[in-house]
């Protein structure tokens, strides 16, 4: 299905999963705005835009409500009302066990991964309600369903919060015609792996998911007809155990 005439926002759209989503959305014809804290990677993604859609870059800090307001006002001025929001902004830290985690890192991870997604959803939902349509995709994580040691204490908590946020709003907005999809990726070969406490080998990176695999799942959720809602989707490397 073509996304021509649709406006999409991808947070964290300069790298990894967000960048792959932005490129796939533009390839399907959407007018895409990518936001992140560093302008450089966002502009690189915009320069790689495959068409027929477009990609527009602007800085955004999802944890800062003023920044979120400025970003979405710019999107509305430049492109129009948001039809699709992909919440892909997220961070982790190397020192992630309860023993090692710094209290300020707990705060930061919750502010970016959980409250950041809330801030962006809160900003786009009134417009979606008034038009009785819209799709929001939250890139949660398997760590948002299973609190294992890989993600760490604060990351797991932030992703459980994101999971609950998505499911709650999906239930509240179903009658309004708004779809909220939670996607739970397993390991994906992206820059966030550089935050792992132990380096990830090239061999391991080759075996796990690539960003475009997750983008394909996002595209399923956003291109199905409005009557069809992908509520939750787990996507993991074949080699990763999920029990």
Ligand X SMILES: NC(=O)c1ccc[n+]([C@@H]2O[C@H](COP(=O)([O-])OP(=O)(O)OC[C@H]3O[C@@H](n4cnc5c(N)ncnc54)[C@H](OP(=O)(O)O)[C@@H]3O)[C@@H](O)[C@H]2O)c1
Q: Name the residues that contact ligand X, by CB under 6 A.
A: 11-12, 14-18, 35-38, 41, 60-63, 88-91, 112, 116, 139, 141, 185, 187-188, 190-192
Kindly state the tokens that stand for 46.
């915009």
Q: Give Cα 5 distance to the centre of its chain.
A: 21
Tell me how far, at minimum, the Cβ of 132 lies from ligand X, in Å.
Answer: 28
Nearer to ligand X, 111 or 176 (CB): 111
Give the active site residue among 118, 155, 184, 242: 155
Smaller CB distance to ligand X: residue 193 or 224? Answer: 193
Active site residue 118: no
Token pair of 94 as six digits: 């190397």
Nearer to ligand X among residue 41 and residue 166 (C-beta):
41
Q: Please, what is the minimum distance in Å from the beta carbon of residue 53 to ligand X?
A: 20
Q: How far is the CB of 225 from ligand X (least distance, A)?
A: 26
How far apart CA 186 and CA 204 sit, in angstroms, is: 13
Does residue 221 have a cis bond before it (omega within 30 degrees)? no
Among residues 207, 194, 212, the alpha carbon closest in space to that of 240 is found at 207
Structure tokens at 216: 């394909």
User: Tokens 């068409």 sit at which residue?
Assistant: 51
Nearer to ligand X, 46 or 88 (CB): 88
CA pair distance 231, 166, nearest whole angstrom: 9
Residue 57 forms beta bridges with which residues?
A: 34
- The strand pair at 134-139 and 178-185 is best described as parallel
- How far is the C-alpha of 92 from the C-alpha of 70, rounded, in Å? 25
Least distance (Å) between residue 45 CB and ligand X: 9
Active-site residues, by number, are 155
């Amino acid at each position: 299905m073509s996304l021509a005439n649709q406006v999409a926002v991808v947070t964290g759209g300069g790298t990894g999963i967000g960048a792959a989503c932005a490129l796939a959305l533009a390839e399907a014809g959407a007018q895409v705005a990518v936001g992140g804290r560093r302008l450089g990677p966002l502009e690189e993604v915009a320069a790689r835009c495959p068409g027929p859609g477009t990609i527009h870059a602007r800085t955004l800090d999802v944890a800062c409500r003023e920044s979120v307001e400025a970003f979405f006002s710019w999107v509305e001025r430049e492109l129009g009302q948001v039809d699709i929001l992909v919440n892909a902004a997220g961070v982790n830290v190397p020192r992630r066990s309860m023993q090692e985690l710094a209290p300020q890192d707990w705060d930061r991870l919750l502010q970016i991964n959980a409250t950041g997604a809330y801030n962006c959803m809160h900003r786009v939902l009134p417009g979606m309600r008034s038009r009785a349509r819209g799709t929001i995709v939250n890139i949660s994580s398997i760590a948002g369903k299973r609190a294992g040691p890989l993600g760490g204490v604060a990351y797991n908590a932030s992703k459980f919060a994101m999971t609950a946020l998505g499911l709650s709003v999906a239930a509240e907005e179903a009658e309004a015609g708004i779809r909220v999809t939670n996607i739970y990726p397993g390991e994906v070969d992206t820059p966030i792996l550089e935050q792992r406490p132990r380096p990830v080998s090239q061999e391991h990176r080759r075996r796990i998911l690539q960003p475009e695999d997750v983008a394909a799942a996002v595209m399923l959720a956003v291109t199905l007809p409005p009557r069809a809602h992908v509520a939750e989707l787990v996507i993991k490397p074949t080699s990763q155990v999920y029990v």
